[in-house]
Copies of this chain bind each other. A is one copy, B any other.
């Protein structure tokens, strides 16, 4: 429980920080400082959102203090040192997924932070409106008890384009060197959602493939998972699938004792009752998941209630992600 008014500092002023800052504003909690090693980037975000204090060095930021919350939206390599700094200064942490490169690093980080500050992971798919609809329908008992599941991720972001590089490479040039593309970057969301909807899961087997030319990371993955009471699930992704939108979309199906729910891109329906499908404006409502995540963090810090995506819960998702690479025969990260 944290008394008094709250304020936050943002660490990492990249593309995604825009949505983070909007969410803090929507939740009425002031962001009083922005920190990024790239000063121009930090300044731009600060100006946009009327933030006075700008830092390029996180040590200086925490030394000066004056905020109770840290929103760490930096790149994954910076997650561990920034979270440690925050904890050492008694600042509560909301950390962008994935926590760290590996489960071992994340476990060490969670240990280091201990119970000194509240520590949640920013995992936005649970809070995306189409996924929240599926979850609410399951919670309402519309399909009974979930017993079988399948999730599919499809996009064309890595397909060749006549007029230049693939869309995702142009947008995220680091993919040219990045060895863990689809599962680490994207399908970790889907593994998290599956866990949430059908309970604990283990990876039985996985295969990865590279369909895009010249990139070191996988763009295609098929994963077989097992849960409790014999439950089985599949997670199948391909972001080099011609015809699909460049940004991936998902298809999710959960078979329950009483019904089957399907989320097909932006439509959620009970199988056999398709005419009563709910449609979600995915782009128009993209900001919502950030608002929910930030709102959940604020409530948790204020009231001491558990976070929806607590570090310990998220560790399970990270374990699942890591075991996909292990099952696929990919060496652990150095």
Say what secondary structure dominates the interface of chain A.
strand
Q: What is the count of identical protomers in the complex?
A: 2
Closest approach, in angstroms, between the C-beta of A191 and any C-beta of chain B? 15
Residue in B205, B241, B244, B255 whose CB lies within 8 Å of A242: B255
Please name all residues of chain B whose beta carbon is closer than 8 Å to the beta carbon of A143 when the two chains form the complex. Answer: 242
Q: Scan residues 231-273 of chain A and give those whose CB is less than 8 A from a CB of chain B.
A: 231-234, 236, 238, 240-244, 253, 255-260, 270-273
Residues B211 and A222 in contact, CB atoms below 8 Å apart: no
Please name all residues of chain B whose beta carbon is closer than 8 Å to the beta carbon of A253 when the two chains form the complex. Answer: 152
Indicate if A226 sits at the interface (CB-CB under 8 A). Answer: yes
Residues A258 and B273 in contact, CB atoms below 8 Å apart: no
Indicate if A210 sits at the interface (CB-CB under 8 A). Answer: yes
Please name all residues of chain B whose beta carbon is closer than 8 Å to the beta carbon of A271 when the two chains form the complex. Answer: 154, 241-244
Closest approach, in angstroms, between the C-beta of A72 and any C-beta of chain B? 35
Residues A234 and B222 in contact, CB atoms below 8 Å apart: yes
Indicate if A150 sits at the interface (CB-CB under 8 A). Answer: yes
A243 and B224 contact, Cβ closer than 8 Å, known pairs A209-B232, A238-B255: no
Residues B205 and A238 in contact, CB atoms below 8 Å apart: no
Indicate if A147 sits at the interface (CB-CB under 8 A). Answer: yes
Please name all residues of chain B whose beta carbon is closer than 8 Å to the beta carbon of A204 when the two chains form the complex. Answer: 205, 207, 224
Please name all residues of chain B whose beta carbon is closer than 8 Å to the beta carbon of A256 when the two chains form the complex. Answer: 242
Q: Scan residues 197-240 of chain A and give those whose CB is less than 8 A from a CB of chain B.
A: 204-211, 220-224, 226, 230-234, 236, 238, 240
Q: Which residues of A contact B (CB under 8 A)?
A: 143-144, 147-148, 150, 152, 154, 204-211, 220-224, 226, 230-234, 236, 238, 240-244, 253, 255-260, 270-273
